[in-house]
């Protein structure tokens, strides 16, 4: 049984991921701290390591290169900026997946990045030509065309960007099919992005919305978006980038979650001048003057209380 080591300080997330991988047929080891996780990697020799580089306030970044020297490491992290991805690959990561992730994609990438098992020697006769044709792609590490097509969407971000650079200037932007035109909001956004040969990282750099939020919008997983007007602004920004109407998706979001958009301050218009009504604040000198008058009144009242003839003597004298 293949073994996977998870190093992540999010206890609830680690437990959920362990359950998913166990159901997929893997033996799973976990650690919520970096040093015990490295010791576990040295002792157990797992086939693959899933590392959250933000563990222990970013200590996972320092451990990445050490772990990558021992076993293949897939970074599974909430840090989704382009510089994070490039930094991880420079440190030796085999792949980079941002949270939130799709379980099917994660399992496919794990299978693709895991080192092949050592072949078992047998005394069987040499294979025939037809058998060799079937066995060669597996023995040489190459996939058949059908397998390449089914796994192409699971390439890493660096591989995807390299592919775009290699095909730049040669690939033509195709037209959306009729089914894509009538697809739901998120699927149409994904189809439009792929039609223009853009990655999520490139779109993030253009509209300044985090990549994992863009992925959540494409998957129409509204629960992964921040609550309130911020989610609506993200949806509008992504839709406007491709010239797609987002009103239906916004209405669906409002029907599921309570959204209170901030109202504009009350204003009145005189001619062409927009003058906002502001609460007038009294001047400081006026406050000081009132304080002095109040002090004099209190002092006079006290004098009159103890000596009622004081003021009459002053006037008479």
Hey, where are the domains in the chain? 3-116+147-154, 174-256, 284-316
12-16, 128-132, 256-260, 284-288: lowest mean pLDDT where?
A: 128-132
Q: Which of 60, 101, 128 is nearest to 212 (CA)?
A: 101
Q: pTM for the complete prediction?
A: 0.41
The DSSP element (H or E) to which 236 belongs, if any, is helix 229-242
CB contact burial 147-185 (16+ within 10 A = b; e otherwise): eeeeeeebebbbebbeeeeeeeeeeeeeeeeeeeeebeb
Q: How far is CA 215 from the centre of its chain?
A: 8
Phi, psi of 130 (to 5 degrees): -70, -40
Q: Tens digits of per-residue pLDDT, 196-236? A: 888 888 888 889 888 778 888 988 888 888 878 888 889 99
- 3.40.50.10260, 1.10.260.40, 3.60.15.10, 3.30.9.10: CATH of 174-256: 1.10.260.40
Query: How far apart are alpha carbons 28 and 264 in whole angstroms?
Result: 53
| Residues 6 or more apart in contact with residue 89 via CB below 8 angstroms | 96, 156, 158
User: Rounded to a whole number, what is the distance in angstroms from the first to the last CA of the chain?
Assistant: 113
Query: How far apart are alpha carbons 121 and 257 in whole angstroms?
Result: 60
Mean pLDDT of 271-295: 68
Q: Which of 91, 80, 17 is nearest to 50 (CA)?
A: 17
Residue indicated by tokens 């970074």: 75
| pLDDT value at residue 210 | 84
46-55, 172-181, 200-209: lowest mean pLDDT where?
A: 172-181
The pLDDT-based confidence of 38 (bands split at 50, 70, 90) is very high
Asked if CATH classification 3.40.50.2300 holds for the domain at 3-116+147-154, the reply, yes or no, is: yes
Please indicate whether the domains covering 3-116+147-154 and 174-256 agree at the CATH topology level.
no
């Amino acid at each position: 049984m293949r073994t996977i080591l998870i190093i992540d300080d999010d206890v609830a997330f680690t437990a959920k991921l362990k359950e998913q991988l166990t159901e997929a047929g893997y033996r799973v080891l976990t650690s919520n701290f970096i040093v015990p996780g490295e010791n576990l990697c040295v002792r157990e020799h797992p086939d693959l390591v899933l590392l959250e580089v933000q563990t222990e306030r970013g200590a996972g970044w320092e451990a990445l290169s050490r772990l990558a020297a021992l076993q293949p490491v897939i970074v599974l992290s909430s840090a989704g900026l382009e510089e994070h991805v490039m930094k991880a690959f420079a440190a030796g990561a085999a792949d980079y997946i941002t949270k939130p992730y799709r379980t099917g994609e994660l399992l496919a990438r794990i299978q693709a990045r895991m080192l092949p098992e050592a072949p078992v020697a047998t005394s069987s006769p040499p294979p025939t030509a037809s058998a060799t044709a079937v066995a060669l792609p597996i023995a040489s590490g190459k996939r058949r065309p059908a397998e390449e097509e089914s796994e192409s969407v699971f390439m890493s971000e660096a591989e995807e960007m390299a592919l775009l650079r290699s095909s730049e200037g040669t690939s033509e932007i195709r037209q959306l099919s009729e089914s894509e035109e009538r697809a739901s909001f998120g699927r149409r956004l994904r189809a439009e992005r792929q039609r223009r040969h853009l990655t999520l990282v490139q779109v993030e750099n253009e509209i300044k919305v985090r990549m994992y939020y863009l992925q959540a919008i494409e998957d129409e997983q509204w629960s992964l978006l921040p609550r309130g007007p911020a989610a609506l602004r993200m949806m509008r920004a992504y839709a406007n980038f491709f010239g797609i109407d987002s009103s239906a998706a916004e209405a669906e979001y409002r029907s599921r979650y309570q959204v209170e958009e901030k109202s504009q301050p009350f204003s009145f218009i005189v001619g062409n001048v927009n003058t906002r009504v502001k609460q007038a604040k009294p001047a400081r000198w006026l406050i000081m003057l009132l304080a002095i008058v109040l002090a004099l009144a209190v002092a006079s009242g006290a004098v009159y209380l103890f000596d009622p003839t004081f003021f009459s003597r002053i006037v008479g004298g």
